[in-house]
Amino acid sequence: DGGITQSPKYLFRKEGQNVTLSCEQNLNHDAMYWYRQDPGQGLRLIYYSQIVNDFQKGDIAEGYSVSREKKESFPLTVTSAQKNPTAFYLCASSIIGSNQPQHFGDGTRLSIL
């Protein structure tokens, strides 16, 4: 079945540590997105990519980095510069410029130790 796989489901970060969240899709979608979700705040866009080897900052990119070396993969690194990383992180993908729905993974919950 086609879909988006996020791993791990739960992740703990120590102070000063970088951690990487994985997102893989087999939907052949060009566009991929990373969102952060905090209680009562809805989804906020961190980064998005519409083509391999290219990505754009979203509304809250500070303290995060991404790469898009393959169409199927869009990993997100939460760096030590992100002082408040505790949140639920969602990865999504879509076909660019179409009326097809956006698809989401099941999320990764990141907490600070």
Partner 1 sequence: KQEVTQIPAALSVPEGENLVLNCSFTDSAIYNLQWFRQDPGKGLTSLLLIQSSQREQTSGRLNASLDKSSGRSTLYIAASQPGDSATYLCAVKDSGGSYIPTFGRGTSLIVHP
The residues that touch partner 1, with contacts defined as CB under 8 A, are: 4, 6, 31, 33, 35, 40-43, 45, 48, 50, 58, 88, 90, 92, 94, 96-97, 99-107, 109
Closest separation between CB of residue 110 and partner 1, Å? Answer: 13
Pick between residue 43 and residue 60 the one whose CB is nearest to partner 1: 43
Pick between residue 80 and residue 104 the one whose CB is nearest to partner 1: 104
Backbone angles phi, psi at 81, to 5 degrees: -75, -15
Pick between residue 11 and residue 31 the one whose CB is nearest to partner 1: 31
CA–CA distance, 22 with 30 (Å, rounded to integer): 17
